Structure 1
Amino acid sequence: MTSVTDAGSGSGTGRPNGRVRGALSGGADHPGYKWIALTNTTLGMLLATINSSIVLISLPAIFNGIHLNPLEPGNVSYLLWMLMGYMLVTAVLVVTLGRLGDMYGRVRIYNAGFALFTVTSVVLSLDPFDGGGGALWLIGWRVLQAVGGAMLMANSAAIITDVFPARQRGTALGINIVAGIAGSFIGLVLGGLLAEWNWRSIFWVNVPIGLLGTVWAYRSLRENRVRVKARVDWWGNLTFAVGLTALLAGITYGIQPYGGHTMGWTNPWVLAGLIGGVVVLALFCLIESRVAEPMFPLRLFRISAFASGNAASLLGSIARGGLQFMLIIWLQGIWLPLHGYNYEQTPLWAGIYLLPLTIGFLAAGPLSGALSDRFGARVFAAGGLLVMAASFAGLLLIPSDFNYWIFAVLVFLNGLGGGLFAAPNTAMIMSSVPARLRGAASGMRATFQNAGMVLSIGVFFSLMVAGLAGSLPGTLESGLTAQGVPDDTAHAIAGLPPVGTLFAAFLGYNPIQQLLGPQLLDALPESNAHTLVGREFFPNLISVPFHDGLTVVFWLAIAMALVGAIASLLTPNAAPAAEPLTDRHSSRRDQTG
């Protein structure tokens, strides 16, 4: 592999060119530039992550706006892709786009991502279709928007690592990462507020921020590190994209019922995606170990800090990834209706009541980054995952109809643990790799994190459905027949897959009203119909079965967090890797520049 120093390098191997010197009044090492880079990349991360959750909480308004019922059997695929398509695409592309940043300039790829993200936000808000066509328009453009989001995610950490010295790197990455994580929770509240006004406004809100960030990035950010001169690893890119897409799509469709089963894990297409994805990814690893200029430099895993840091990141991401969905369903399906909120109001108020989680992230992230710069990262990263595990244990102990202040303290502790972990872990990973491979390393880190989120949602939903499948049918059937629903109808409804009930609660629909339909409700005595669709019938019915499923989910999260904490403790203090970390196939380097 050959490399050349970028003309604007501030790495100490050359002088900044006139353009950079004029812009920065002293080059990329000027103290003011690093804060400009941090502020802009933090804005980019915030925009990308707010966008993922703002759509999530606004799904009822979106589907109402395009006149589509997402709970009809033929429309569940639209719902799944609206939920998970953005995360899937970013998980697949961040490594490729990080590697392209190493080759063609991290700032160049990052800037293009900001512009693409902004343009697709405009197009999404102009959806001209209704029904399935409108859903496909949104899904397709969301996929393209995810490409822009992946450009931002893949290169922001690398840009920050380039410009900040090691003694300040944890602080800077802490601010950037926590802003990104907090954005996913800020989007819940913002989406709930905007969806009350107009569903298209959830895309409009991106446009002024995107325009500001794009213009600012093009005018202020400069390349200041080594570029890698290399050929594109086409076979590596292709096999990675196909393998990871097949695997994550298989997990996504595994949630959907199939052939009379509560889930789709016996669906031949799901099995083909899972098995085929693993086989193609194994082929990808073989290719990457043999090509001279790999997209995914497997040799980075020889660096123990990089390997164990990413293992901890993956485990932490799985532990907390599905948590947001479980807490939203808990609030929207049980707690909020029991406390007087109509189902249509629950998406907004779920976001508001989860604010302590965001506050925990915001409080701990920058502080943890600053302290880890002074005292080392391992203890803070491991301690954060231990705090998360303790908060999951606390959530296991409270009843379904909990005291909110106890719940608020527990989710605050969960956010605090996530904030304590994120910045030191990322600093360990990014500080351990050579400067010329930071784009690829940043993309690899983001891939583990994003893939962990998708995997977590699939695993958590599957475990929750498995837990509900054992106790919900009997509870539902007896509850319906007690209110006058005919035995055969109650038996048929009780036999429906629980995932439909979960999705209804998640979207802010009244699940019993959806299951029974207007004709059956009209045929029942008015008092019985009123009880069935009231705010207390469904929450009281589902609370025990839901808690059974929640127990399984939270025990898995505790196990993942504890194993991640052990991986963090085993991570050595990161020291910058020696630059010659090369492939055995690369025998010479161009030293020009």
Structure 2
Amino acid sequence: MSVTVTGQKQNKNRGIDYKWIALLNVIIAALMGSINGSITLISLPAIFNGIHIDPMTSFQYLLWILMGYGLVTATLLLSFGRLSDIYGRVKLFRLGFLIFTVGSVLLYLTPSTGDAGAIEIIAFRILQAIGSAMFMANSSAILTDAFPPNERGRALGIHMVAFMSGQFIGLILGGVLAVYDWRYVFLVSVPFAVLGTLMSTFKLKETSIRSPDAKIDVWGNLTFILGITLLLLGVTYGLMPYGNDPMGWNNPWVVVSMVLGVVFMALFLWVETKVEDPMFRLDLFKVKMFTYANVAGLLNSLGRGGMMFMLILLLQGIWLPLHGYSYESTPFWAGIYMLPLTIGVMIMGPTAGWLSDKYGPRWIATAGMLINTVGFLILASMPYTFNYLEFGLTLFLMGLGSGMFSSPNSASIMNSVPAQERGVASGMMMTMMNTAFTASMAIFFTIVIVGITQRFPDAMTSSLASIGAVQLAPVLSNIPPTGALFSAFLGYNPVSTILAGLPASFSAAIPHSTLATLTGTTWFPSTLAGAFVPALHMSFYIGAVFTATAAVLSALRGETYVHELEVLKDTRSKPGEED
């Protein structure tokens, strides 16, 4: 009991300014980590051109650069969260900044080109991800240590706004910087990483209540890292073509990886019930607020992770070209047109945090998930020729919903655990969110690829017949579904590339008007839309199921629960015991 009271006194003795210093450090970390996670989404074409790699023949590199950062971060968050409870949160937080800085500099200096250059970029991004996992695992815990219970919702809300806003700021920055030099995409992180390293070294104080007698959970770490790595590797390679199949879910190595991943994760949960100091505190799930808020957050991430990716594909591959934007410019403009989502989060995140401090998180978070459910259903009903005003308002609505949910939900989780367990609780929360985010991309991407595989050849043949070029059907109908999708994502028209590779005699027989139609900005996206949009709508309906379920769990979490206050209440009800 004295632990809680001491923590409160320390909070007062640090002075009113310290909490804002802690918040500024955490905001820098959140922005930097999330911007770095999304900035490559937009700048991949420039990166591949810069290292002289054809992305359509190097799909494995494309997928690893795209997903490797999130995979490594999700794998390490839980371990770093537990280590911070033992050795100190600020120590790991500042070390994370330093490692991230080194990784960013190395990415800017990437010396090689070709396959070697791609491998170097993947390796340096993994180094960045290790640093990112260190500060992400501790950010929520540092804020919870610095702010009193009645202000944590607002602080965590601002943190969540920074994290979610960074994902969309990265889209715009990537589009702007890639125009000048692909290396600037990685250089932009360096000044902020250096500033964060210096601030966390000289301004942050180690005020957490540590567990120095706790032991490192060696077996838990090994089984968890093996399990989550195998699962996420299986998911990643399941998205790659295998033989004549457009995806690799039938690849024996993928099947073995997934099965072994499930086995090791089950073994991990068993180990955590046996070791003296588990890294994954299963006993925390006895707290109703902790359990329901975490599962609701996981379901929200399952819906949100794939949604952003699908909307970018829709904008870059179909809507923007149909509205006259060149393929080269679509990555940048996709980021611009996604801004209403960011604005909604920025408006509602801090507001929802303040409201949850005052009125409790239950109904605010629940309303946020209900709003997102409605947003998914609206998106599922829109044609691919949608009016942007309706689309933008829907994104803004979903941004408001995300902001309403995220900060109260995070505050619920962090308020419900003892002070000495905040590091591991933060790591558990972020691990579940990041793993679900990666899984969401795999789920939505699989749905879309399966749908395109079934519909694309017929759509291509029908579209060619409508312009009197049915003789090209045997050639163009063989465009791989992943090639069609990622060409749209990377901002170029694959038809031009295929036609350039045809014999001159064959190309000469095609009328100039037909060639102009095929290589224009409207024919290919219209053809792709017929195969892509039905599967896209299905993914939105699945997203609605995830968020509706999250709303139910959020409503069932109960009223406000703050561990310090509950402990003090319990001791006051037993006056015969010492405080």
Report the TM-score range of the alignment, normalised by the length of the smaller protein: over 0.9
Does structure 1 residue 41 correspond to structure 2 residue 41?
no
Summarize deviations over 1:406-463 as a string: whole Å, max 9, x none: 1100111111111111000000011001110100000000011000110000000001
**Corresponding residue of 2:107:** 124
- Aligned-residue offset at 1:12: 1.5
Q: CA RMSD in A?
A: 2.1
- Aligned-residue offset at 1:176: 0.5
Residue of 138, 141, 151 corresponding to 2:134: 151
Q: Map of 1:398-547 to 2, 5 A cutoff?
A: 398-480=382-464, 487=471, 490-491=473-474, 493-519=476-502, 522-523=507-508, 524-547=510-533
Question: For 2:561, what is the secondary structure of its paired residue?
Answer: coil
Question: For 2:13, what is the secondary structure of its paired residue?
Answer: coil
Matched AA of 1:139: I
How far apart in 2 are the matches of 1:41 and 1:305? Answer: 24
How far apart in 2 are the matches of 1:233 and 1:144? Answer: 23
Relative to 1, partners in 2 of residues 1:309 and 1:255: Cα closer, same or farther, differing over 3 Å?
Answer: same
Question: For 1:31, what is the secondary structure of its paired residue?
Answer: coil
**Corresponding residue of 2:120:** 137
**Corresponding residue of 1:197:** 180
**Corresponding residue of 1:12:** 6
Matched AA of 1:280: F
How far apart in 1 are the matches of 2:241 and 2:8? Answer: 60
What's the TM-score, normalizing by structure 2? Answer: 0.94
Matched AA of 1:133: A
Does structure 1 residue 263 correspond to structure 2 residue 247?
yes
Does structure 1 residue 287 correspond to structure 2 residue 271?
yes
Residue of 144, 149, 167 corresponding to 1:184: 167
- Aligned-residue offset at 1:157: 0.3
- Aligned-residue offset at 1:495: 4.2
Matched AA of 2:531: P
Answer whether contact 1:394 1:410 (CA < 8 A) is retained.
yes
How far apart in 2 are the matches of 1:86 and 1:347? Answer: 20
Does structure 1 residue 276 correspond to structure 2 residue 270?
no
Does structure 1 residue 330 correspond to structure 2 residue 330?
no
Does structure 1 residue 168 correspond to structure 2 residue 162?
no
How far apart in 2 are the matches of 1:235 and 1:493? Answer: 53
Does structure 1 residue 395 correspond to structure 2 residue 379?
yes
Answer whether contact 1:360 1:412 (CA < 8 A) is retained.
yes
**Corresponding residue of 2:89:** 106
Answer whether contact 1:117 1:149 (CA < 8 A) is retained.
yes
**Corresponding residue of 2:190:** 207
Does structure 1 residue 554 correspond to structure 2 residue 548?
no
Does structure 1 residue 68 correspond to structure 2 residue 68?
no
**Corresponding residue of 1:585:** none
**Corresponding residue of 2:357:** 373
Residue of 569, 572, 580 corresponding to 2:555: 569
Matched AA of 1:54: I
Matched AA of 1:550: L
**Corresponding residue of 1:589:** none
Answer whether contact 1:469 1:498 (CA < 8 A) is retained.
yes
Question: For 2:6, what is the secondary structure of its paired residue?
Answer: coil
Question: For 2:502, what is the secondary structure of its paired residue?
Answer: helix
Answer whether contact 2:365 2:554 (CA < 8 A) is retained.
yes
Matched AA of 1:251: V
How far apart in 1 are the matches of 2:28 and 2:537? Answer: 37
Question: For 1:226, what is the secondary structure of its paired residue?
Answer: coil
Q: Structure 1 residues 368-377 or 543-552, which shifts more?
A: 543-552
**Corresponding residue of 1:20:** none
Relative to 1, partners in 2 of residues 1:528 and 1:435: Cα closer, same or farther, differing over 3 Å?
Answer: same
- Aligned-residue offset at 1:569: 0.6
Answer whether contact 1:431 1:574 (CA < 8 A) is retained.
no
**Corresponding residue of 1:590:** none
Matched AA of 1:12: T
Summarize deviations over 1:120-172 as a string: whole Å, max 9, x none: 11111001111110000000010010000111110000000011111111000
How far apart in 2 are the matches of 1:389 and 1:566? Answer: 11
- Aligned-residue offset at 1:13: 6.2
**Corresponding residue of 2:336:** 352
Question: For 1:519, what is the secondary structure of its paired residue?
Answer: coil
Does structure 1 residue 227 correspond to structure 2 residue 210?
yes
Matched AA of 1:306: F
Residue of 58, 64, 68 corresponding to 2:43: 58
- Aligned-residue offset at 1:477: 2.3
Segments of 5+ residues of structure 2 without an aligned counterpart are 568-579
Q: Structure 1 residues 478-487 or 100-109, which shifts more?
A: 478-487
Segments of 5+ residues of structure 1 without an aligned counterpart are 17-23, 582-593
Instruction: Give the paired residue count.
Output: 563
How far apart in 2 are the matches of 1:574 and 1:12? Answer: 22
**Corresponding residue of 1:591:** none
Answer whether contact 1:483 1:532 (CA < 8 A) is retained.
no
How far apart in 1 are the matches of 2:566 and 2:149? Answer: 20
Answer whether contact 1:434 1:576 (CA < 8 A) is retained.
no
Relative to 1, partners in 2 of residues 1:460 and 1:413: Cα closer, same or farther, differing over 3 Å?
Answer: same
Relative to 1, partners in 2 of residues 1:452 and 1:335: Cα closer, same or farther, differing over 3 Å?
Answer: same
- Aligned-residue offset at 1:578: 7.3
Relative to 1, partners in 2 of residues 1:208 and 1:578: Cα closer, same or farther, differing over 3 Å?
Answer: closer
How far apart in 2 are the matches of 1:116 and 1:188? Answer: 23
Question: For 2:548, what is the secondary structure of its paired residue?
Answer: helix
- Aligned-residue offset at 1:115: 1.1
Summarize deviations over 1:38-87 as a string: whole Å, max 9, x none: 11111111111001111121000000000001111xx1110110110000
Q: Structure 1 residues 238-247 or 467-476, which shifts more?
A: 467-476
Matched AA of 1:197: Y
How far apart in 2 are the matches of 1:165 and 1:38? Answer: 13
What's the TM-score, normalizing by structure 1? Answer: 0.92
- Aligned-residue offset at 1:96: 0.5
**Corresponding residue of 2:16:** 31
- Aligned-residue offset at 1:323: 0.9
The alignment-based identity, stated in percent, is: 47
